[in-house]
Structure 1
């Protein structure tokens, strides 16, 4: 019975505690709305209070921004002809001159802007700026040639649009233009926007008379800068209403800075400016862009036109590398070659400091010529660094691995063997001959991928006598991102601070019956936004056990074949004591590459 009582008390206690309403953390935080914007109000919702932007503003209540109701017709109730004026938190509408109303509804003043007709005894009035038919045929241009069009069916209000022109010409048009025999033009000036509908005469040129035929038309200037015309067919056929191509809405939006928009042969087009400076072949200089992966040489089309070259054909030493036209702020004729020896006939020369790529640009006018092509030699020089020297080397000793990081993309990492401490002379070919008096210089670098977020980190670099990176016989050069302090010849100039890493040490061999050496590097991409990538190393202390990381990748160079060492080598500590012996380092054309997934 005692147990039943305790159980009943427990149930009652739970029921009572669950019936209590918890206090919302929002109530205390927002009860006084002290953080409301000046354009917001504090609204009560039960026990909760929150800031709400007033009408005409938008935001989270703590910050409110004015809504520009005039930026889009869906945000205001202004009449389509009215002028919308945005104010802080609201807007106003006003009817233009010639109209009456409150801005939300505008009506034309009688006789000013509406066309009224009688239908079944009642009078119906419509603003032709809002109700008309669009004519967009480019052949209506007065620059267009002869044709057989007839506008006898054009009865009503019309608006001209398109590349042919947006308004009728006000001067006599020569016959057999506008795709017709007798072109029609407006005998009178166009009205201004405050004069409403005006009466004019349309004339047709024929038999030497500019107004051989005539017919009344009405014209109205609309809000927005365009015109509408009330046409009543034509007096006879074949007659067409013409447009003036001088009046057109931005007919050449594609023109560049050195070009001007002109009407030639009835068509608008981009042509080199008449004031463009003249040039001759002796002063012709191409625009050269020396990029990391490609070289582009370009010539301005307008300069070539000034020289009389209107159908430019350009190509490099390899004629298959031909030019193409591109438009940016200027129209250029360009040709591209990769920064690689042999591409498009490109030649590579190197000295101790620079790699230079050179080629020749050939220029002709048309695909057939009876004169020698114009030849322009060009070159790009690049200061040698670890990566560029590797790219310019012939059959370099290199190993590589692709690393995919998901959203950041794919990275290409390479490891190579260099001859010098500047890391600008990579070993080339199938073998390298060294002695124990020489040094090994190893460079690891990110050659492809966005390095704005990642740096290269060498976690562990070591040597083994076999190709197996897990061989128990290892000699650590870098361990846990720090150099082996037991070997005074080891130097690590760069690690975990940029897109490349470097280390060097004096040549050695494994003690015993081992004539091969493989170099391995476990590397990773370190995210500078979330990690401390630069290692903190102390030269005091013994080697630590190598850490195991799941995001580590392995690169391997080898084998390095050694010969000339005496068979009775000393202890492991004496691996650097054999001075003067020769080492032949043989690197096969196909490098060993391992990708490890460590657990």
Structure 2
């Protein structure tokens, strides 16, 4: 907090003989100019006291006179100026948040100006995109997410190619924690399904909803896309799915002849989201799921992953699960029964479970 006093309001008192409740810290010394005495006072230092009631927090301090800074008592009549800053305990915070990403307009040599639109759909019919006013969208873990990327161009003989799609917990393609859905034109996530489209400038696909393990409660989907001349050989679009070894055998875009360069546009980045994870009606009936979905189940015993049965440990095969992701969670319905949990893609079995935030 900051205080300013006019020197004229303190006749007969010199600024060098004024102090706060605790002046032992040099940062708590008062300062002055020709007209005012002032100080910037931390809320947790300089002898500041805190009082509260049902509505406010109050931070109090005082300016007093002194003869010797080391004195702790006095019997002289002192000047004392009490002051405080008051903060309400409750307040309203408003923030403008635009969730839905509009279509993007780009220009490529040989293709002119065209647009990319990334939308989510309610089902595999792809008739009407989900209303942007309903964003952020909420999905149940394991339910299918239907997506479409569409390019709009005045040139008919063109084809859209989706080279990669990734998921991140933030709208930042360079964020360190990412999950690959499509890479090099190949499906990486095992639940991805490509749907047939009405024309070559549409790409429709779906996958099962998931969440990032940890405190992240949302997912953004980002894709790298480009346009090519339909039927033109040796463009990235004509390659389709390639692994790194096969891809290295194809000439890079800047090595193509001039005609081939015009047959392939530049790569562009499109994203949409966020998607948030909700609970199904069945899950909401389970007492165990009254806990935060971000909890990961860990066995009560600190043992290596495996099944405990009759005092003997039996190795168990790891559950199929993508690293860093959590698609389904099956908590115990009764706390005192034996319980299975999913920890980093491995199943463990023990007694009463312990819950740990990750």
Q: What TM-score, normalized to structure 2?
A: 0.43
**Greater relative CO, 1 or 2 (CA 8 Å, sep 6+):** 2
TM score, norm. by length of structure 1? 0.27
